[in-house]
Homo-oligomer: A and B are copies of this chain.
Amino acid sequence: MSAPSGLSDAMIEATCTTNVPKPTNNLTNPLLTDLYQITMAYAYWKTGQHLRPAHFELFFRKNPFGGSYTLFAGLDEVLKFLAHFRFTEEDIHFLRNTPQLGHCEPAFFDDYLSNLDCSDVVVHAMKEGSMAFPRVPLLTVTAPLGIGNLIETTLLTLVNYPSLVATNACRMVVAARGQFWEETAGCSPPLKESKVSSSPPRSSGFRGTPRKSVQMAEGGMTDIRRRKPKCVEFGLRRAQGPDGGFSASKYSYLGGFHATSNVLAGKLLDMPIAGTHAHSFVQSYTSLDLVKDARLKRAAKVGEEAGDEMVVLLPIVLKYRQQLDYNETNDGELAAFVGYAVSFPNSFLCLIDTYDTLQSGLRNFILVSLALNDLGYTPRGIRLDSGDLSYLSLECEYLFHEMAERMDRGFFYGLDIVASNDINENVLNSLNKQGHAITMFGIGTNLVTCQAQPALGCVYKLVEVDGQPRIKLSNDMEKVLIPGRKIAYRLFGEAGWPLLDFLVCRNETQMPSVGERVLCRHPFIEQKRVAVVPARVVKLHNLVFDGKNGVVSGLPSVEQTRQFVNDQINYTRADLLRYINPGEYKVSVSDETFRFLHQLWQKETPVPELR
């Protein structure tokens, strides 16, 4: 089967690799499918239809999270699955003995299923990480009817969640950057780290007046330079199963996250991992006695070796406790921080809300930080996991800045303030409004489970058999299929932004080209039309799998895809990124496709009778 005409056939000649790794998850195999794919395969085989040439499109009908775009992800696992598609003898044995299939002719198993692989399957797809829009195929499958159907469910499973979580992550990264808030506050990103001005924003120091602290924070906003907050994925424990967690780590990184807490993702994907300690760590230290002998070396200065002398940390800490009059802080917590400091002196970051954030945790962190810094180390920061994150982060920042001046320690200006605890897109936007000093968000449940919308409704539809376009009707207009095998283009304007996506049936004579006026029509609504003279035309699908030759090589790394996502977001109209009432990106069809669709629709729709 050759590539669809008009698509870049030349790519078939690119180096192909048959040395594709197996799917990451051992559950990803041909039986990971719905039974109806097998029963249909039998009916096709039994009635001699299984080899008819067919064409399928995998797409979604609506962007998730009330947004205006979706990131396409999961392609690499799709290719691994296709490259290794084979029923094992054990699989065949199981199917043969399944009650529903018990009566099937033996030849179905012996001749057909046992010998089936994806050598007759050709897949074209968008580049992984592409911004995608409703009804534009993420990938297309050209294959005989039998095998083309058999892979449906698994392909959907492998694309739906990765695309959803990548999109969710990207939206959160955009929200965390708070670009709209920064704009209205008069700061232009990117902000660089620098010493604070003489009048830092601060709250009143009293938990009862958050309103005041918010106003002050907003008022002072132009005076303070803050780093753009980064996002880190913390969701493994709340994910929907082990690979819900693993995929979340991978695809949230692709969507712009900075790191994950998931060690396995670090190992298998070579991506950054992050983590320090939990509440249980703090609780487990019951007294200062447990760390009275804890020692560490002085840090090496630039150009020098670290000395061999082991210094006991606790006495220095207690000296500062005396000096600052922080005698009421929790001893167990202080012990835990000392224990953590001697273990991770170069990356000392403490969770400070186990007992009381401001009265105990923050102060204990300051004490140990000062002692660590005496030995030449630069502490890294704190994590807040409960309470009013706006208020607490500003309070922490204020005390850090005060300490910086009072104790003359510059490191206090560079500390990270990490915030976690049920962060979602809405909380991020709200924190931006209230003002905060958070430099990093740890996001778990809402990211990995995509709480705001836990499923992307990708579908996989037959659009052509034997070269004949097929339609599926529905009373719900959104569910009507645009029939036929289509070529998808993205048309760009002179300013470099994408203007709209444009679908053309492959047998049409006229394809869009640069500088030529083209009529773009809404697929369903007759009155919605727009004429476009594109400054650039990009064909959206490339050949990625050619069954005869295997996977077409040159798939980008996660890192490269992450960069591609970032580049696209930076070149996206601001209204499409808006949280409330985002603008809509147009997906249109050619005039010829429009006419053909409506003609077929009319023909296949019976006229109901009212009696």
Cβ of A403 to closest chain B Cβ, rounded Å = 18
- CA separation between A274 and B99, bound complex, in Å? 10
Nearest chain B CB to A396 CB, angstrom units = 15
Is B100's CB under 8 angstroms from A344's CB?
Answer: yes
| A205 contacts partner chain B, Cβ-Cβ < 8 Å | yes
Known pairs A340-B43, A606-B356; A240 contacts B161 (CB<8 A): yes
Contacts of A152 on B, CB cut-off 8 Å? 237, 278, 280
| Contact, CB under 8 Å: A264 / B32 | yes
A43's closest neighbor in chain B, by CB? B343
| A283 on interface, CB distance cutoff 8 Å | yes
A390 shortest CB reach to chain B, Å:
15
CA–CA, A195 to B403, complex, Å? 84
Inter-subunit contact A27/B242 (CB<8 Å): yes
Closest to A162 in B: B241
The reply to whether A261 and B36 contact each other, CB–CB distance below 8 Å, is yes
* A245 at interface by CB-CB < 8 Å: yes
Asked if A246 is an interface residue, CB under 8 A from chain B, the answer is yes
Chain B contacts for A28, CB-based, 8 A:
242
Known: A157-B245, A243-B27, A473-B356. A455 touches B451 (CB 8 A): yes
Say whether B462 contacts A454, CB under 8 Å: no
Interface pair B278/A36, CB less than 8 Å apart: yes
CB of B29 within 8 A of CB of A26, answer no
Are A455 and B445 in contact (CB-based, < 8 A)? yes
The interface residues of chain B lying within 8 Å CB-to-CB of A457 are: 238, 445
- Chain B residue numbers with a CB within 8 Å of A44 are 281, 284, 339
Q: Which one of A132-140, A177-185, A474-482, A555-563 contacts B?
A: A474-482
Determine how close the nearest CB of chain B comes to the CB of A165; give it in whole angstroms: 8
Residue from B263, B284, B294, B466 in contact with A286 in the complex, judged by beta carbons closer than 8 Å:
B466
Minimal beta-carbon separation of A184 from chain B (angstroms): 31
Task: Give the residue of B241, B280, B445 whose beta carbon is less than 8 angstroms from that of A240.
Answer: B241
Which partner residue on chain B sits nearest A351 by CB separation?
A: B36
Q: Given A27-B243, A445-B457, is A39 in contact with B387 using a C-beta cutoff of 8 Å?
A: no
Instruction: Tell whether, in the assembled complex, residue B267 and residue A94 are in contact, meaning their CB atoms are under 8 Å apart.
Output: yes
Which of A158, A240, A286, A387 neighbours the largest number of chain B CB atoms within 10 Å of its CB?
Answer: A240
- Whether B455 lies near A449 (C-beta < 8 A) is yes
Q: Chain B residue with minimal CB distance to A246?
A: B27
Q: Is A290 an interface residue (CB 8 A)?
A: yes
Question: Are the CB atoms of B472 and A32 closer together than 8 Å?
Answer: no
Least CB distance, A606 to chain B, in whole angstroms: 5
A15 interface residue (CB < 8 Å to B): no
A262 on the B face (CB < 8 A): yes
Q: Are A35 and B238 in contact (CB under 8 A)?
A: no
A34 pairs with B237, CB closer than 8 A: yes
Using CB atoms, name the residue of chain B closest to A235. Answer: B455
* CB pair B240 A449 closer than 8 Å: yes
Q: Is A595 an interface residue (CB 8 A)?
A: no
- A215 interface residue (CB < 8 Å to B): no
What's the Cα separation between A329 and B606 when bound, in Å?
8
Interface residues of A in 565-611 (CB under 8 A from B): 604-606, 608-611
Contact of A608 among B280, B343, B359, B465 (CB under 8 A): B359
- Answer yes or no: A247 CB below 8 A from chain B CBs: yes
Q: Lowest 6 CB-CB distances: which A-B pairs, in order?
A: A35-B275, A36-B275, A449-B454, A156-B237, A43-B343, A240-B240
Q: Please name 11 further chain A to chain B contacts, defined as beta carbons within 8 Å, in addition to the given A156-B237, A161-B244, A240-B449, sorted by A numbering.
A: A32-B263, A33-B263, A39-B343, A47-B342, A100-B347, A161-B240, A238-B457, A240-B244, A240-B247, A240-B454, A445-B457
Q: Can you list 25 A-B pairs with a CB-CB distance of less than 8 A?
A: A25-B241, A26-B26, A27-B264, A35-B261, A36-B277, A38-B263, A39-B277, A43-B277, A43-B339, A44-B284, A49-B339, A52-B284, A56-B280, A95-B263, A103-B346, A149-B280, A243-B243, A279-B472, A283-B470, A330-B606, A354-B473, A355-B605, A356-B605, A358-B608, A387-B475
